[in-house]
């Protein structure tokens, strides 16, 4: 059954070969990487700015300072569960959230949810 859901490594290698051996495709790919990484940086700074705007008492700069598709929030498992159960914001139990999953349609909700579960805490 597994072979129905997995691609052999050869397909990925062929895709990379096709893109990197075609100057136009390589240029397009580099441009798309810039677009995506810029968007994720904007989502990181956006959530931090919104939390500051809500006068959240905690320093969220670590979210903005990280790179990549995920961010470690520092939330405890109890707070992660509260985010999920009360605000329908999902992340791993150790507080890692998908930055790639944030967008202009949900970033306010996510920031408000972080604020709601942390505003009255000295630390977690």
Helix (H, G, I), strand (E, B) or coil at 51: helix
Tokens of 64: 């903005």
Tokens of 84: 């999920």
- The whole-chain average pLDDT of the chain stands at 93
Kindly report the pTM of this predicted structure: 0.83
Q: Give the pLDDT confidence of 59-98 residue by residue, as tens digits.
A: 999 999 999 999 999 999 999 999 999 999 999 999 999 9
In whole angstroms, how far apart are CA 112 and each of 14, 23, 48, 64, 84? Answer: 44, 44, 11, 17, 13
In the chain, the N- to C-terminal Cα span, in Å, equals 44
How far is Cα 30 from Cα 33, in angstroms, rounded to an integer?
5
Rg (CA), the chain: 19
* Closest by CA position to 98, among listed 44, 38, 51: 44
- CB distance 95 to 76 below 8 Å: yes
At CA 71, angle to CA 91 and CA 33, rounded to 5? 115
At 1, the pLDDT band (50, 70, 90 cuts) reads low
């Amino acid at each position: 059954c597994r072979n129905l859901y997995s691609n052999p490594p050869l397909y990925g290698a062929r895709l990379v070969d096709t893109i990197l051996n075609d100057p136009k495709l390589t240029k397009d790919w580099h441009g798309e990487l810039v677009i995506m990484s810029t968007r994720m940086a904007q989502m990181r700074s956006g959530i931090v700015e919104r939390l500051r705007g809500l006068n959240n008492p905690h320093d969220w700069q670590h979210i903005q300072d990280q790179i990549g598709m995920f961010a470690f929030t520092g939330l405890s498992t109890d707070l992660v569960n509260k985010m999920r159960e009360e605000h329908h914001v999902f992340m791993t139990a150790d507080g890692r959230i998908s930055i790639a999953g944030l967008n202009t349609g949900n970033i306010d909700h996510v920031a408000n949810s972080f604020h709601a579960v942390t505003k009255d805490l000295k630390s977690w």
